[in-house]
Amino acid sequence: MALNSKVPHGPLKDKWTDYKNQINLVNPANKRHIDVIVVGTGLAGGSAAATLAELGYNVKSFAYQDSPRRAHSIAAQGGINAAKNYQGDGDSTYRLFYDTVKGGDYRSREANVYRLAEVSANIIDQCVAQGVPFARDYGGLLDNRSFGGVLVSRTFYAKGQTGQQLLLGAYSAMNRQIARGKIEMFNRHEMLDVVVVDGKARGIIARNLVTGEIERHSAHAVVIASGGYGNVYFLSTNAMGSNVTAGWKVHKKGAYFANPCYTQIHPTCIPRSGDYQSKLTLMSESLRNDGRIWVPKNLEDVKAIREGKLKPTDLTEEQRDYYLERRYPAFGNLVPRDVASRAAKERCDAGFGVNATGEAVYLDFAASFERYGSEQAKIQNISNPSPEKIKQLGQEIVRAKYGNLFQMYEKIVDENPYETPMMIYPAVHYTMGGVWVDYNLMTTIPGCYAIGEANFSDHGANRLGASALMQGLADGYFVLPYTIGDYLSDDIRTGKISTETPEFDAAEKEVTERINFLINNKGTHSVDHYHKKLGKIMWDKCGMSRNKEGLEEAIEEISALREDFWKNVLVPGTANEYNEQLAKAGRVADFLELGELFAKDALVREESAGGHFREEYQTEDGEAKRMKEFQFVSAWEYKGEPKNAVLHKEDLAYENIEVKERSYK
Amino acid sequence: MNLTLKIWRQLDASDKGKMVDYKVTEISEHMSFLEMMDVLNEQLIASGKEPVAFDHDCREGICGMCSMYINGEAHGPDRGVTTCQLHMRMFKDGDTITIEPFRAAAFPVIKDLVVDRSAFDRIQHSGGYISVNTSGNTQDANATLISKTAADKAMDAATCIGCGACVATCKNSSAMLFVGAKVSQYALLPQGQVEATDRVMNMVHQMDLEGFGNCTNTGACEIECPKGISLENIARMNREFLKASVKG
């Protein structure tokens, strides 16, 4: 099947408006005869479910958590971008579009990104109307902060809990529709397959996670809003339950999976402390504005620090290697996320990691304490301040800026970051790749849509800070509700979709057999045993930097691990009860397939772009080297074993933006 | 460190349930409480036993999924944290730790330490929203000015993560802190005014239907709340309720 992105013709800035004016609508009286399934209740799924229900469709919403409010969008800290230009600093739809395409290293689809920038302003209006308590200034107007390497202040925020507040906004909109009976909510339910009838997505098979019951749910369209697949690495900043299952199941039924190798690894996370670690915690990248990153120059000092014989504060300036400042004198500690992450890995691989696991570098605020402290001493007219006084004054400024992050760090690590440098290490936290969708957000299965992090379309090879929330809500509130109507306008005479059909029988049988197999296998190793092994292969060979040899090994190792999993996995309990191990086994089984496709995608993409860094393709100074001939989206078609997947290319044309080299000099 | 765990085991909602003792060894003080539970579960799985069921998801203190009543306190002995943020350094070698589910008539046990908190959702369905449809033409976000004090207070109320620690802690199993926080968020914002009367009446009515108890101003909820939601929100809800009752 040839890929058709269905991008409308016409000038970029008119595409969306003209398109909306031309697509088919569904009469309000007919909407009540049409059912839509939405899988996932994060920003994308929650906002889509609420809006579709407001329009009059009958929505069935599914979440594996005990309430829609717990989806992992809730953990986003920093903010949400919108081209409001409230600060009068020259922001515009075009600038947000430009920044997003450039930040994505020219690997995203122009028309989709422009539409995202276009609807961004409406998101803020909508959320304020819902009662989202964004930060305000003393005049009562909305406040903005600047974020991640752009030249304007366009980020709206609610303390360090922007994701939480936006999700609670979408959840409240859902609650209103649940109360009206327009959304039927299925909490503690997990989608285990999509049902395709006559080539169209017509329902799902779901498991009730409390009773273990397998259920059939039919609809005229199915929307996948299940988030990203960062947990393929085992350790990530994703929630424990975040998984690829919904996306992977539709992939296996005909939806192409795009750019699986584009992963964002965030440089400022709290390092792993031991093998028991279950997840990683991110700290806002704004810390790099005031912290200097270093490791000791000498390996003897590293050893002494690890053994507790030496403290980092004992080392003189000459004994420290501020490696980012050394390698990137122009940008220093403020190089982009991917560069900062790779540089930390390089030092740690060379043996300079400063904690017991050897995977940590210092983020030191001492220089900031002194700089801010001296400034404050002048402002407050303190003559001849003592070094202690300067430090104290400086710490007060830093506390006002980052106090909550310092406190979070201290709770987890049990060290006071005001007295000793923080330790940080990069961690997986977002996946730009996902299910391939066209301009309508429809996958290659007619009637099956993918929105939010679950799709691939807007961030290219690298996502900018504060853009994930924007995309989730744009897709759910403002894009899908229009585009899905165009498709559903053909379904006004279809009537209720029956679940008593051979297609539902077959899908349910497949799901049941797989569950029974897992339960009856009675092997020797727990699910986590396999998940951790997979995570290690992914991190070592498909992580911050990749090479041909490693990727080829990864494909073989993951394939072998998958075989071992199906032979030897041990799932306790039964199928007909609350059984978290069983749910997890299904998710890990899917990760074991996705991981292989991921490695294959990374192997085939013989260039470096954004979050995908191939060691063979770098400039002399170790920068990512993009290749003109790879200016396309890799969309993979399922053909049995992941390594046999067939590649389809969607060429990317940039008509409104000049493709340039990213440079940090 | 080596620990003895006394954990509530209950097969399902109909089972009577009982406390069962377990031993865990070589627990690092840097582990989070839930990572210690992971170690126990891996140990149980390896020995052919059923792992302990407990709710958890984000493991960074924001989703509100984790619960657990540890040594008689919701979310355990530390302050301002959820169970997933509680670290083993709060305990010492040789300790015996008692772990129970959040207990309240309105939170029935599903299995072991997992409870059903859907009552909270139903309270929200009854009025925890502002009736505004999604459209491309809502008025501009800056068209209505909101004082910084009101916005900040609304935000403080809105940080509630809906975990239910307040209910589990309260001797009356009252949900007043949870409901008060939601009522307050909207009461403090101009957008919430239009539906203020119905909202507070409906939410309080639903709260009573769910079987939550009343507030007797003990204040335990505020102390155990991982997000520091203030008792002031209960006072504000009472005021809103009184206003609404008078208005009818």
pLDDT value at A582 more than 70: yes
pLDDT of residue A334: 81
CB-based contact, A473 to chain B, within 8 Å: no
Per CB-CB distance under 8 Å, the chain B contacts of A159 are 155, 159
The reply to whether residue B148 touches residue A140, judged by beta carbons under 8 angstroms, is yes
pLDDT of residue A405: 83
pLDDT of residue B234: 98
pLDDT of residue A555: 97
Q: How far apart are the first and last CA of chain A?
A: 44
Give the three-state DSSP class for A213: coil
Query: Smallest CA–CA separation between A302 and chain B, in Å?
Result: 21
Among residues A69, A154, A288, A337, the one annotated as catalytic is A337
pLDDT of residue A291: 92
pLDDT of residue B198: 97
Q: What mean pLDDT comes out for the span A14-35?
A: 96
CB-based contact, A28 to chain B, within 8 Å: no
Q: What are phi and psi of A422, to 5 degrees?
A: -70, 155
Let me know if A662 is a catalytic residue.
no
Cα–Cα separations (whole angstroms), residue B72 to B26, B103, B165, B222: 24, 11, 12, 16
What would the pLDDT profile of A342-396 be if each residue is shown by its tens digit? Answer: 899 989 999 999 998 899 999 999 999 999 999 999 999 999 999 999 999 999 9
Alpha helices, H only, A82-240: 93-103, 110-130, 162-179
Q: Which residue has the tokens 């009662």?
A: A131
Q: What are phi and psi of A215, to 5 degrees?
A: -120, 150
pLDDT value at A515 more than 90: yes
Q: Which residues contact A77 (CB under 8 A, 6 or more apart)?
A: A160, A161, A162, A163, A282, A284
pLDDT of residue A148: 62
The reply to whether residue B134 touches residue A140, judged by beta carbons under 8 angstroms, is no
3-state secondary structure B123-175: HHHCCCCCCCCCCCCCCCCCCCCCCHHHHHHHHHHHCCCCCCHHHHHCCCCEC
Query: Smallest CA–CA separation between A66 and chain B, in Å?
Result: 7
Pick from B30, B125, B141: CB nearest A125 = B141
pLDDT of residue A664: 67
- B80 → chain A, closest CA residue: A411
Query: Smallest CA–CA separation between A365 and chain B, in Å?
Result: 24
Pick from B29, B38, B186: CB nearest A131 = B186
The reply to whether residue A129 touches residue B130, judged by beta carbons under 8 angstroms, is yes
pLDDT of residue A159: 86
Q: What mean pLDDT comes out for the span A72-83?
A: 93
List the domain boundaries for chain B.
3-110, 117-133+142-247
The reply to whether residue B134 touches residue A481, judged by beta carbons under 8 angstroms, is yes
User: Pick from A280, A265, A271, A237: which is nearest to A362 by CA?
Assistant: A271
List the domain boundaries for chain A.
266-427, 503-628
pLDDT value at B106 more than 80: yes
The topology under which CATH files domain B3-110 is Ubiquitin-like (UB roll) (3.10.20)
Strand order in the sheet with A632-637: A434-435, A257-258, A632-637, A646-651
For chain A, the average pLDDT equals: 95
Q: Which residues contact A403 (CB under 8 A, 6 or more apart)?
A: none
Query: Smallest CA–CA separation between A178 and chain B, in Å?
Result: 7
pLDDT of residue A400: 77
Cα-to-chain-centroid distance, residue A567: 32
Per the CATH hierarchy, to which homologous superfamily does domain B117-133+142-247 belong? Answer: Alpha-helical ferredoxin (1.10.1060.10)
The reply to whether residue B38 touches residue A573, judged by beta carbons under 8 angstroms, is no
The reply to whether residue A74 touches residue B87, judged by beta carbons under 8 angstroms, is no
- B64 → chain A, closest CA residue: A70
The reply to whether residue A54 touches residue B134, judged by beta carbons under 8 angstroms, is yes
CB-based contact, A547 to chain B, within 8 Å: no
Instruction: Compute the distance between CA of residue A150 and CA of residue A468 in angstroms, rounded to an integer.
Output: 16
pLDDT of residue A71: 98
pLDDT value at B79 more than 70: yes
Per CB-CB distance under 8 Å, the chain A contacts of B179 are none
Query: Smallest CA–CA separation between A262 and chain B, in Å?
Result: 23
Q: Which residue has the tokens 């036993």?
A: B49
Pick from A86, A124, A278: CB nearest B34 = A278
The reply to whether residue B155 touches residue A572, judged by beta carbons under 8 angstroms, is no
CB-based contact, A1 to chain B, within 8 Å: no
Per CB-CB distance under 8 Å, the chain A contacts of B56 are 240
Give the pair of three-digit tokens for residue A189: 């339910």
A to B CB pairs, distance under 8 Å: 205
Q: Which residue has the higher pLDDT, A328 or A378?
A: A378
What would the pLDDT profile of B92-103 be if each residue is shown by its tens digit? Answer: 999 999 999 999
pLDDT value at A602 more than 80: yes
Contact at 8 Å (CB) between A169 and A127?
A: yes
pLDDT of residue A665: 63
Options 3.40.250.10, 1.10.760.10, 3.30.365.10, 1.20.58.100; CATH for A503-628 is 1.20.58.100
pLDDT of residue B94: 97
pLDDT of residue A518: 98
CB-based contact, A128 to chain B, within 8 Å: yes
Q: What mean pLDDT comes out for the span B44-68?
A: 96
pLDDT of residue A662: 74
User: Pick from A100, A68, A188, A15: which is nearest to A476 by CA?
Assistant: A68
The reply to whether residue A72 touches residue B56, judged by beta carbons under 8 angstroms, is no
Instruction: Compute the distance between CA of residue A295 and CA of residue A301 in angstroms, rounded to an integer.
Output: 10
Q: What mean pLDDT comes out for the span B20-45?
A: 96
Query: Smallest CA–CA separation between A323 and chain B, in Å?
Result: 29
The predicted model scores a pTM of 0.96
Task: Give this complex's ipTM.
Answer: 0.98
Strand bridging mode A200-208 / A214-218 = antiparallel
pLDDT of residue B18: 98
Task: Tell me which range, A124-133, A268-277, B136-145, is most confidently predicted by mean pLDDT.
Answer: A124-133
pLDDT of residue B137: 83
Q: Which residue has the higher pLDDT, A338 or A488?
A: A488
What would the pLDDT profile of A122-170 be if each residue is shown by its tens digit? Answer: 999 999 999 999 999 999 999 998 766 677 889 999 988 999 999 999 9
The reply to whether residue A210 touches residue B110, judged by beta carbons under 8 angstroms, is yes
